[in-house]
C-alpha cells in the first residue's frame, strides 16, 4: 500500500506506474482517492474544531448557570447539541471515507523499481544470468513421475481416490529424498546466519490482507469454513505476520529468518492441475527465507537472498538461471522480483523453482511494522525468497542426477541425510 502523502503529491508518478503495469482500468482510482482524501481531511479538520468549541462552550455553561444566566446557558446547551449532531455525522463520514480510501489504496500497485523491465506478462521476463552448464545426456530422460515410479517412490492413483488431482503419496527413497532436501535446505540457511522457524500453518484474515493482494488471495488461499483462518500458501505469510503492529529498534535489524512449512494453494487460474505430475499441485512443502530490514538495506538484501537460492542449487550441481520479472508479471505489492529457474534435461529448457521478491514497505504499511530510529519511527522493508520447494525441486534433481541405467546419483551434501547412500537404484 502506498503512502497517502506520496500519492497526494505525486499522482502523475502513480498513474505512470499503473500504466507500466498495464492496469489502465485502475487509473481512475488515483483521482478518486485524492478527492476522497480531500473530503476526509476537511471533515477531520471540522471535527477537531467542533470538539474544541464544544469543550469550550460546555465549560462556559457552568459559569453561566452560576451567574444566573439561565437563558444564555440554554442557548449554549442548544449550540452544544447542534455541534454534537454535526460531529456525529462528520465522524460517520470520516469512517466511511477512510474505508473507501483504504479499499482503493489496497489495489493501487506499489511503485516498481526503476530497474524493472517493462512488459505485459511472464513471456517478457528478462534473463539475468546462468549458473552451471546445462547438459542434455545421450540417453532419453523419462518424465519425472516415471522416474519416481521406477524407484517405487510415488502413488498418484491412491491420492486421486483420497483427495483428487493435485495430490500425491511419496514413499520409500523418494519420500526420504524429499525430507533430505528440506533438512539440507534448513541447515544451509542456518549456516548462513538465518534463524530457523516453524510457523503457524493458518493465519487470520487481517494478516492475509497485510501480506498479499485480494486477487492473489482469491486465487491461492483456502479458507477454514466458519472461522477467521486461512491455510498458508507459503510460510512467508505467517512469518511476516509475526511482526504485525510491532516497532523494531534499529539494533535488532536486520531480521533474517528461514522457515519450513507445508503450503496449500487452490491454483485458481492455473493451466490445469496435472493428473500425472508434481509440478503444479495443491499441497507441497517449502523452505523459505525472510528478511525485515531498514529501507536503505533492502536492495542489497534482495541480491543476497537470490544468490542464496542459486548457491543452494549449485551445491547440488543443478544448473540454474535467474530471470528479472517484468512490470506486468509483478504482483501489486512487489517492487522488484527475480525468478530462479532450474534446468530440465528432459524438456531442454529451464523451469521455475523459486522466486525472490522485494516488497518495499508495502507489507509493513499494511501490517504496521515500524522501525524506531534516532529521528523517529518509519516503516520497515520486507523481502522473501524460496530456498527450495520440493516436490517441484525433485523434478530438477531427478532429471539432472539420472544415469543411463536408471539409477540416480545422490550428491555429497545430501548423503548424511540419506543414511550415507550414494545412489538410488530401480
b vs e for 79-96, b when ≥16 Cβ sit within 10 Å of the residue's Cβ?
Answer: ebeebeeebeebeebbee
Report how far residue 103's alpha carbon sits from residue 377's, in angstroms, rounded to the nearest whole number: 25
81: Cβ contacts below 8 Å, ≥ 6 apart: none
Q: Tell the burial category of 233 from Cβ atoms under 10 Å away from its Cβ (0-12, 13-18, 19+).
A: buried
Q: Which CATH number fits domain 122-424: 3.40.50.720, 3.30.930.10, 3.30.2130.10, 1.20.1250.20?
A: 3.30.930.10
Report how far residue 94's alpha carbon sits from residue 48's, in angstroms, rounded to the nearest whole number: 12
In the DSSP assignment, the letter for residue 329 is G
Tens-digit pLDDT profile for the chain (426 aa)?
899 999 999 999 999 999 999 999 999 999 999 999 999 999 999 998 888 887 788 778 777 777 777 777 778 778 888 888 888 999 999 999 999 999 999 999 999 999 999 999 999 999 999 999 999 999 999 999 999 999 999 999 999 999 988 899 999 999 999 999 999 999 999 999 999 999 999 999 999 999 987 777 778 899 999 999 999 999 999 999 999 999 999 999 999 999 999 999 987 555 555 557 888 889 999 999 999 999 999 999 999 999 999 999 999 999 999 999 999 999 999 999 999 999 999 999 999 999 999 999 999 999 999 999 988 999 999 999 999 998 889 999 999 999 999 999 999 999 999 999 999 999
Domain ranges of the chain: 4-105, 122-424
CATH of domain 4-105: 1.10.287.40
Q: Is 232 helix (H, G, I), strand (E, B) or coil?
A: coil
Cα angle, residue 94 at apex, residues 88 and 100 outer, rounded to 5°: 140
The two domains 4-105 and 122-424 share their CATH topology (first three levels equal): no
164: left (phi over 0), alpha (psi -120 to 50) or beta: left
pLDDT value at residue 68: 76
Q: How many CB atoms lie within 10 A of CB 189?
A: 24
364: Cβ contacts below 8 Å, ≥ 6 apart: 243, 292, 370, 379, 380, 381, 382
Range 419-423 contact pairs with CB under 8 angstroms and sequence separation of 24 or more = 421/173
CA atoms within 13 A on the CB side of 63: 5
pLDDT value at residue 67: 74
Q: Tell the burial category of 130 from Cβ atoms under 10 Å away from its Cβ (0-12, 13-18, 19+).
A: middle
Cα angle, residue 161 at apex, residues 160 and 166 outer, rounded to 5°: 20
pLDDT value at residue 59: 74
Distances (CA, A) of 163 to 33, 47, 184, 395: 45, 57, 29, 22
Q: Which helix (H) or strand (E) holds 369?
A: strand 369-373
pLDDT value at residue 139: 95
What digits encode the pLDDT tens for the residues 134-191? 999 999 999 999 999 999 999 999 999 999 888 999 999 999 999 999 999 999 999 9
Report how far residue 378's alpha carbon sits from residue 298's, in angstroms, rounded to the nearest whole number: 14
- Give me the sheet containing 255-264, strands edge to edge: 126-131, 320-324, 336-344, 349-358, 381-388, 283-293, 255-264, 195-197
Of residues 382, 391, 318, 314, the one with CA closest to residue 350: 318
Amino acid at each position: 500500500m502506498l503512502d497517502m502523502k506520496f500519492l497526494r503529491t505525486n499522482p502523475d508518478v502513480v498513474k505512470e506506474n499503473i500504466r507500466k503495469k498495464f492496469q489502465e482500468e485502475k487509473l481512475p482510482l488515483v483521482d478518486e482517492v485524492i478527492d476522497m482524501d480531500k473530503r476526509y481531511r476537511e471533515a477531520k479538520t471540522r471535527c477537531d474544531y467542533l470538539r474544541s468549541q464544544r469543550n469550550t462552550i460546555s465549560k462556559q455553561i457552568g459559569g453561566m448557570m452560576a451567574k444566573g444566566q439561565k437563558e444564555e446557558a440554554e442557548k449554549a446547551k442548544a449550540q452544544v447539541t447542534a455541534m454534537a449532531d454535526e460531529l456525529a455525522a462528520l465522524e460517520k463520514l470520516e469512517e466511511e471515507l477512510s474505508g473507501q480510501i483504504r479499499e482503493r489504496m489496497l489495489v493501487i500497485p506499489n511503485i516498481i523499481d526503476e530497474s524493472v523491465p517493462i512488459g505485459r506478462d511472464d513471456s517478457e521476463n528478462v534473463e539475468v544470468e546462468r549458473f552451471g552448464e546445462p547438459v542434455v545426456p545421450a540417453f532419453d530422460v523419462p518424465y519425472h513421475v516415471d522416474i519416481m515410479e521406477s524407484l517405487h517412490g510415488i502413488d498418484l492413483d491412491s491420492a486421486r481416490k483420497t483427495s483428487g488431482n493435485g495430490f500425491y503419496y511419496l514413499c520409500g527413497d523418494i519420500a526420504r529424498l524429499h525430507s533430505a532436501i528440506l533438512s539440507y535446505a534448513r541447515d544451509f540457511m542456518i549456516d548462513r546466519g538465518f534463524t530457523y522457524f516453524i510457523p503457524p500453518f493458518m493465519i487470520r484474515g487481517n494478516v492475509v490482507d497485510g501480506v498479499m493482494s485480494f486477487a492473489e488471495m482469491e486465487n491461492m488461499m483456502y479458507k477454514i469454513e466458519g472461522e477467521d483462518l486461512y491455510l498458508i500458501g507459503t510460510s512467508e505469510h505467517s512469518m511476516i505476520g509475526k511482526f504485525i503492529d510491532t516497532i523494531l529498534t534499529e539494533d535488532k535489524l536486520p531480521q533474517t529468518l528461514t522457515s519450513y512449512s507445508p503450503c496449500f494453494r487452490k491454483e485458481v487460474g492455473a493451466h490445469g492441475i496435472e493428473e500425472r505430475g508434481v509440478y503444479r499441485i495443491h499441497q507441497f512443502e517449502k523452505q523459505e527465507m525472510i528478511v525485515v530490514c531498514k529501507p536503505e538495506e533492502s536492495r542489497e538484501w534482495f541480491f543476497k537472498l537470490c544468490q542464496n537460492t542459486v548457491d543452494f542449487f549449485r551445491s547440488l550441481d543443478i544448473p540454474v538461471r535467474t530471470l528479472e520479472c517484468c512490470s506486468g508479471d509483478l504482483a501489486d505489492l512487489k517492487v522488484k522480483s527475480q525468478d530462479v529457474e532450474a534446468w530440465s534435461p528432459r524438456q531442454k529448457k529451464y523451469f521455475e523453482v523459486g522466486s525472490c521478491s522485494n516488497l518495499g514497505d508495502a507489507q509493513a504499511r499494511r501490517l504496521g511494522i515500524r522501525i524506531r530510529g534516532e529521528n523517529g519511527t518509519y516503516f520497515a522493508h520486507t523481502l522473501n525468497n524460496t530456498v527450495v520447494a520440493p516436490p517441484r525441486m525433485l523434478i530438477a534433481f531427478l532429471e539432472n542426477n539420472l544415469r543411463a541405467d536408471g539409477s540416480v546419483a545422490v550428491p555429497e551434501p545430501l548423503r548424511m541425510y540419506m543414511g550415507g547412500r550414494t545412489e538410488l537404484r530401480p
